[in-house]
Structure 1
């Protein structure tokens, strides 16, 4: 797998029937090791180890219903009151982050109405804070630590 613009962590990879699987600490199981999953696992550990996000408030593959269609948010951070606070969307390192990616996460936010949206392909990361009072959003220079949310 490609090196990412994220800190290294001690990942667990196994091979079964010729396919590689990586351990997902949030789902507590091995999942298929795709380029997008490689980014997800590194980003999750970055949030946990570098930014102080509580493991118990993060969830992967969160299902939502949007206009009668089931969709899955890659990662959602919940507040202590269990309301969603952040959506993270991952792409493989080979996928350029375009307006279409931001449109995708914005559609998910129609349902969850979170304060923060993050998009990452493992090489570039974008975080924006949504201001519902005036209907604007602002891109932040960095991913905020949990205690600053």
Structure 2
């Protein structure tokens, strides 16, 4: 493994550092996903996703059993994939999270991407993170629009 191939590993994310099992095989770096119980190719987006999952489970006490990762959805007959969906204890969508690589700037366009996905899913909260910056929004039933909240909601 050449360190130059994985510059995102040197970026200090704005999330707690977990213990991740990294292995090299077939010229690629892999990370063990403890929720899915399998090895995944380590990409900048996956690095952010693994840190977010760790943070939500260890610090926000989200139950592991209510996570759904990288699943497909249909929007206007288009096939899309969300990054993280966490259900509430009644099995209803609680928070939808889109992960971006650390070098991807969060913008109105990136927020709109997760908002489009959430039109199908209907989670009360949605968030987008590049590991450095996090934008968390809550759907306000009074105004029928999203309002930014300071941090990821408590479960």
After TM superposition, the score normalised by the length of structure 1 is: 0.94
Q: CA deviation at 1:72?
A: 0.6
Q: Can you list the C-alpha shifts for 1:54-101, whole angstroms capped at 9, x where unaligned? A: 000011102111111111110000112212111000100000001110
Q: Distance in 2 between matches of 1:23 and 1:133?
A: 42
Q: Distance in 2 between matches of 1:105 and 1:3?
A: 24
Aligned to 1:75: 84
Comparing 63-72 with 38-47, greater Cα deviation is found at 63-72
Aligned to 1:38: 47
Secondary structure, in 3 states, of the residue corresponding to 1:118?
strand
Match of 1:120 among 125, 129, 136: 129
Aligned to 2:34: 25
Aligned to 1:132: 141
Q: Distance in 2 between matches of 1:5 and 1:123?
A: 5
Q: Does 1:57 align with 2:36?
A: no
Q: Distance in 2 between matches of 1:133 and 1:85?
A: 18
Aligned to 2:17: 8
Q: CA deviation at 1:133?
A: 4.2
Give 5+ residue unaligned stretches, structure 2: 1-8
- Matched positions, count: 146
Runs of 4+ displaced beyond 6 Å: none
Comparing 29-38 with 129-138, greater Cα deviation is found at 129-138
Q: Distance in 2 between matches of 1:88 and 1:112?
A: 11
Q: Distance in 2 between matches of 1:25 and 1:65?
A: 27
Matches within 5 A, 1:89-100: 89-100=98-109
Q: CA RMSD in A?
A: 1.0
Q: CA deviation at 1:121?
A: 0.3
